Amino acid sequence: MAIDYGQKRTGIAVTDDLQLIANALTTVPTASLFDFLHQYLLKEHVELIVVGEPKQVNNQASDSSKYIQPFLLRLKKEFPDIAVARMDERFTSKMAFQTMIDAGLGKKARQNKALVDTISATIILQSYMESMEFKKRKEEK
C-alpha cells in the first residue's frame, strides 16, 4: 500500500498479491484516514505501507514534512505489525497531471485534485516496487 499524505486529502494505492503493478485505490479526507485504514486492513492483507516523502529539488525535506511526522508516529503506533517505508515523492503531482493528459482526460477531470492524489500514490508505490526490484537484481550480480 502507498499513501500520498496531504493536509486535506490523502491518496491511496495498492498492489496485486504478486506485487507486479500498483493500482489506484481511492482518495480519502485526511481527517478520516485512520478510520479508512482500520476498515481496509481488517479485510485486506498489507505487509508494507509506503509513505511519500516530500522533498525539495535540493533533496532537503520540504515544509510539508512537519505534517507527515505526526502521521508516521501514529501509523506505527496503531499498526505496529505493518512495516513502513518512505519513498521520495518529488514531482509525483506533475507526473500524475501528465498521466491524466496522456490518458486523454479533459480539463475538468484534470482539475480533480482527489484524482491527482490517487495517481500520485500509485506513482509512489510503483516507484518503490521498481526500486526494490532494481536493488534485488543488483544484489544478485
H helical segments located in the chain: 33-43, 65-78, 92-102, 107-110, 113-140
- Digit-coded pLDDT (tens) for 7-62: 999 999 999 888 889 999 999 999 999 999 999 999 999 999 999 887 666 666 66
- Digit-coded pLDDT (tens) for 82-122: 999 998 775 666 666 677 667 776 777 666 677 778 888 99
Tell me what pLDDT residue 2 has.
97
The total of structural domains in the chain comes to: 1
Tell me what pLDDT residue 81 has.
95
CATH of the domain at 19: 3.30.420.140
- Give the range of the structural domain holding residue 127, as residue numbers without chain letter: 2-140
Following DSSP, what letter does each residue of 30-57 receive, concatenated? GGGHHHHHHHHHHHS--SEEEEEE-B-T
Phi, psi torsion values for 102, nearest 5 degrees: -60, -30
- Answering whether pTM is above 0.75, one says yes
